[in-house]
Structure 1
């Protein structure tokens, strides 16, 4: 089963930031796809049901310039 995890991402100011956050999310085990929007300041992560949102929030990409907050989790 796949789930969609919606994150609010703080600190992104340009397209390079978006790419950095997306690359960080895609590098996490169990993540299938990630959509990151600079305009909305959001990230939608499509992941295996084994991925815990807390794991995404603790990724290295969110330990420096960027911060993330969990918005929702939807099972598909």
Structure 2
């Protein structure tokens, strides 16, 4: 099984920010895919079922300029 996790991402101002957040999420353990929207300030992350959504907001990418908040979690 997999999960779809929606994150509200704060601090992004440009396409480079989107790329930085996206690559940080995609390189995290258990993440299958991630898409990040500058316009919406959101990230949609598809993970393996055992991934804790709150571990994602503790990633290094969210320890500086950016921060994130879990908005929803759906089991697929």
TM-score by length of 1: 0.99
User: 2:35 and 2:2 mapped to 1: Cα distance?
Assistant: 15
User: 2:40 and 2:64 mapped to 1: Cα distance?
Assistant: 20
Kindly state the Cα deviation for residue 54 of structure 1 after the two structures are TM-superposed.
1.1
- Superposition misfits of 4+ residues, deviation over 3 angstroms: none
5+ residue gaps in structure 1? none
In the alignment, what sits opposite 1:59? 59
User: 2:38 and 2:71 mapped to 1: Cα distance?
Assistant: 16
Count of residues in correspondence between the two structures: 76
**SS of the residue 1:50 aligns to:** coil
* Deviations 1:16-37, CA, capped at 9 Å, x for gaps: 0000000000111010000100
User: 1:28 and 1:51 mapped to 2: Cα distance?
Assistant: 10
